[in-house]
Structure 1
Amino acid sequence: MSLLTATCLVMGNIIGGGIFLLPASVAPFGTVSLVAFGVLTIGAVALALVFGRLAERHPDTGGPYVYAREAFGDFAGFLSAWSYWTMTWVSNAALAVAAVGYVHVLFPGRASAGTDLLVALGALWLPAIANFAGTRYVGAVQLVSTVLKFVPLLFIAVVGLFFFDPDNLGSFNAGGGSAVGGMSAAAAILLYSYVGVESAAMSAGEVRDPERNVGRATVLGTIGAAVVYLLGTLAVFGSVAHDKLVNSKAPFSDAVDAMFGGHWGGTLVAGAAVVSIIGALNGWTLMSAQSPYAAAKDGLFPAAFLTKRRGVPTFGVLAAAVLASVLTVINYFIGSGGVFEILVLITTFSATVPYLLAAGAQVYFLLTGRRDKVRPARFARDLTLALVAFGFTFWLVAGAGYAAIYQGVLFLFAGILVYAWMAARRAGRREDQAGAAATPPAHRPQPDAVPEKVS
């Protein structure tokens, strides 16, 4: 992947389907939510810079898993890989279900659960097929989908500034109480807007000149997503009356209708949302295979995840697509029991575990005198960035909520059984190898000595 493709991978994975509801989600807190977004952007850029520094030192596929394992050993590396892997395929199922709602806007009419299920499964398997075709096709889909969703969103964001009316903003702290409390409440909703910042680092082995391009792609992709987020939210805040925005089910559609009149905004935004979700699924499907692939190389995941074709770990792609499909079927036929909602809660916590371990790994490398292997003579700046990134990720954990942390920790600890199984297999292989090395070679008869010829 080139620098442009890697940048689109980062931006496409960060900007999923949630942005189309984001302004309405934070509108109840007032414009203090824009301040919260700005603070979160600083933390996300710091995390992006940390991933860039770490990729310079270890430009291999696996990203956060590689850093955690090198700094803290096999168990920490496994926890990073396990958390990231489960987060990706559960998130893919949630994205596929979200795509169905936007498809209904594009194609109105009576729909059944069976039709919705087919649409959701199609949203999962089309990106999987692109991944089976190889990294080049993944990059092409990501490039096209990022452009198709970035251009209309940026158009709304920029044009919306010309229709900006300060009277539509409402109060600064509409939620009441202290401004700090309102900012924290808004941040709890916005926190996961930047999940995906690690995408280029996760696929570093498939990026051209990764020592340079992974860091650049990570920062550029994060900043590009931040521009869309901040300008888009500001444009919607300024073009849609606050009392209407609070109850809006399609804030960007309402913004387009307010700018140009008519009711065609819903179709435009729904089309952009479908493209955005398919692009995000394309990138996240690749991410779902990269972490277990890197762990399998070290014997921490089953060897089947090592199957690779044209730069893509195909077994990992297949496993993630199958598991996400199972969750999607559960959502449509057994979802009343809340199983799907619990699993989505798990992802909100699971996403933070690799981030915390990666930021901690950078702090470890710097404090143990190994800073020369990351960035020479820049100890103070790199340490500050690592601490800001760690604080940002810690804030993510706090914002996940008690239910998400509780469910996520249970699922994280369930992975210990998998680690124990893989560790036992590795120990058995080592014993077999040690025994084979200690066994003396079988006795072989020596040929009879040939008497010397007497002259």
Structure 2
Amino acid sequence: MHETDGKTRRFGLPTATALVMGNIIGGGIFLLPASVAPFGTVSLLAFGVLTVGAIALALVFGRLTERFPRTGGPYVYAREAFGDFAGFLSAWSYWTMTWVSNAALAVAGVGYVHVLTGGDGSKAGDLALALAMIWLPALANLAGTRWVGAVQMISTVLKFVPLLFVAVIGLFFFDPDNLGSFNTGDGNWTGGLTASAAILLYSYVGVESAAMSAGEVRDPERNVGRASVLGTIGAAVVYLLGTLAVFGSVPHDKLVASTAPFSDAVNAMFGGEWGGTAIAVCAVISIVGALNGWTLMSAQAPYAAAKDGLFPAVFAKKRRGVPTAGVLAAAVLASLLTVINYTSGVAGVFEILVLITTFSATVPYLLAAAAQVYFLLTGQREKVRPARFTRDMVLALGAFAFSFWLVAGAGYAAVYQGVLFLFAGILVYVWMVARRPAASGAVAVSEEPALAACGGGRPEDASSSSPS
């Protein structure tokens, strides 16, 4: 059963695709070519491998949405498969990742504004600008999903077209002599592949965006999967062609030391020094668009969890299709973190929280991929044709491997900090579950733990599933 009828669902296929693509392409793309240049062109191979993994994950989200076309995406899948606790961990982890990422995006956006203005601003001015970058998208979200969709469509086009232009035109200026060697490391090429992949792994975070907002997508069983794949492929085209164009237009020794690789590429192609300004404009638009989409994502996971009594009930209230409490909470938390970044003077606090998001992004993916494997193995495939079993299992295992690689690529520090914060959420879970029987509607949800103890799932699924 859908949360809303077709008349109130705001996102068609184009808007859902823009949501995915806009959330994937944030500010990181503008530094990626320089970040992976030290490893040689083997990094392009790493990008290709990661793209395959990301598309597999997108397809799995599409299959899972066929079963559960509801807002919440990875949270819904984890809870249906493994019960309340797994669902809570997915929602808590995802929610953490979104609001901390929003603060990081806002701070990065201030840096690009400095490129446009030609100088550094004061701390007070930078803080005001960063807060504006957080709250303007929040206001667009509070205005309703129609505004979210409109802003996302416009910002995605405004950043996709210039990036694609640079990527395509750059191929006409391609000089193989600029590439450098295939592997610049001392070891074999597999070491360079792994090292560059560790940097590139998080380029595809956001592939779940359509699934997370499935309750607002028209015909989600059909459109979520398509939007996830199309958005991922669109981002991959920009990533791969853009990186290749930069590699081929900027000499390798200069690219390794570059702090603005796309700007250097534009200057090399067309001459002059205007490339920095052009790319900075594109970067600001890209970051604002990503903030718009991620603000919505920051409200969807707690919304779905609140409906099941696992987050405070206020998060379950919607206005114009948007969970207002979730938007406000994420904006306030991101603002507090931004204030800490500019005013506290405590070194490393902001960096530690960003490390937490690096790990937090992987937990929902891993649980969602595992949920699909679980549904396939237990025969809960009532909405998927039997002939798809082998293909679906291969995709699910591929998505699980990709997600596991994300965890491994996060690094020891990110995993350590992330696990500590994840476990801190256990107290929140205990508090919510302890209070839930006394809450309104407790009868409907209090039966879930018994089902979860037998493997999770909805009552109707429990009666229809059978081990295969």
Settle same-fold status: TM greater than 0.5.
yes
State whether structure 2 residue 46 is matched by structure 1 residue 36.
Answer: yes
How far off its partner does 1:431 sit?
12
Per-residue deviation, 1:377: 2.2
SS of the counterpart of 2:426?
A: helix
Alignment CA distance shift 1:367-1:432 (3 Å): closer
Q: Structure 1, residues 151-186: CA drift from partner, whole Å, max 9, x if none? A: 000000000000000000001001221100110000
The partner residue of 1:5 within 6, 15, 31 is 15
Question: Which one of 79, 102, 107 corresponds to residue 97 of structure 1?
Answer: 107
CA distance in 2, matches of 1:262, 1:137: 38
Superposed displacement of residue 106, structure 1: 0.9
Whether the aligned pair in 1 keeps the contact of 2:437 and 2:443 (CA below 8 Å) is: no
> How many residues matched?
434
Name which of structure 1's ranges 371-380 and 393-402 shifts more when overlaid on structure 2. Answer: 371-380
The CA distance in 2 between the partners of 1:178 and 1:432, in whole Å, is: 59
Q: Which amino acid in the other structure matches residue 326 of structure 1?
A: L
Partner in structure 2 of residue 152 of structure 1: 162
Task: Determine the C-alpha separation between the residues in 2 that align with 1:384 and 1:151.
Answer: 34
CA distance, structure 2, for counterparts of residue 339 and residue 376 of structure 1? 50
Offset of 1:336 from its aligned partner? 3.4
Q: Deviations over 1:309-337 (max 9, x none)?
A: 11100110000000000000000012532
Following superposition, the deviation at residue 430 of structure 1 comes to: 9.1
Q: CA deviation at 1:374?
A: 3.4
User: Given that residues 40 and 183 in structure 2 are in contact (C-alpha distance below 8 angstroms), is that contact kept between their aligned partners in structure 1?
Assistant: yes
Amino acid at match of 1:302: P
Distance 2:231 2:69 in 1: 18
Residue in 2 that maps onto 1:288: 298
Q: Could you tell me how far apart the structure 2 residues matched to 1:243 and 1:336 are?
A: 35
Instruction: Give 1:36-435 correspondences, 5 Å limit.
Output: 36-429=46-439
Q: In the TM superposition, what is the alpha-carbon distance from 1:211 to its structure 2 partner?
A: 0.8
The amino acid that maps onto 1:352 is T
Structure 2: distance between partners of 1:397 and 1:14: 18
| Contact residue 53 and residue 375 of structure 1 kept, 8 A | no
**How far, CA to CA, are the matches of 1:69 and 1:37 in structure 2?**
32
Specify the structure having the higher radius of gyration (Cα): 1
Tell me the distance in 1 between the aligned counterparts of 2:298 and 2:286.
Answer: 18
Q: CA RMSD in A?
A: 1.3
SS of structure 2 residue aligned to 1:340: helix
User: Offset of 1:427 from its aligned partner?
Assistant: 3.4
Q: In 1, distance between residues paired with 2:406 and 2:298?
A: 21
SS at match of 2:400: helix
- 1:150: Cα distance to partner? 0.3
Structure 2: unaligned runs, 5 residues or longer: 1-10, 445-468
Alpha-carbon distance, 1:428 to partner: 4.1
Q: Give CA-to-partner distance per residue, 1:400-430, whole Å, 9 cap, x none.
A: 0000000000000000000000010013459
Distance 1:395 1:323, change over 3 A: same
Between the aligned residues of both structures, percent identity stands at 82
Q: Which amino acid in structure 2 is aligned with residue 289 of structure 1?
A: A
Residues 218 and 169 from structure 1, CA distance in 2 versus in 1: closer, same or farther, beyond 3 angstroms?
same
Aligned equivalents of 2:88 and 2:187: distance in 1?
Answer: 43
Against the structure 1 CA distance between its residues 177 and 143, is the aligned structure 2 distance closer, same or farther, given a 3 Å change threshold? same
Q: 1:90: how far off?
A: 0.2
What TM-score does the superposition give when structure 2 sets the normalisation length? 0.91
CA–CA separation in structure 1 for the residues paired with 2:214 and 2:438? 32
Q: Deviations over 1:43-96 (max 9, x none)?
A: 000000000000111110000000000000000000000000000000000000
Report the alpha carbon displacement of residue 307 of structure 1 after superposing the two structures with TM. Answer: 1.8
Q: Following the alignment from structure 1 to structure 2, what is the Cα–Cα distance between the partners of residues 50 and 66?
A: 14
Contact 1:176 1:182 in 2 (8 A): no
Aligned to 1:446: none
CA contact (8 A) 2:138 2:327 kept: yes
Query: Following TM superposition, by how much is the alpha carbon of 1:7 offset from its aligned partner in structure 2, in angstroms?
Result: 0.1
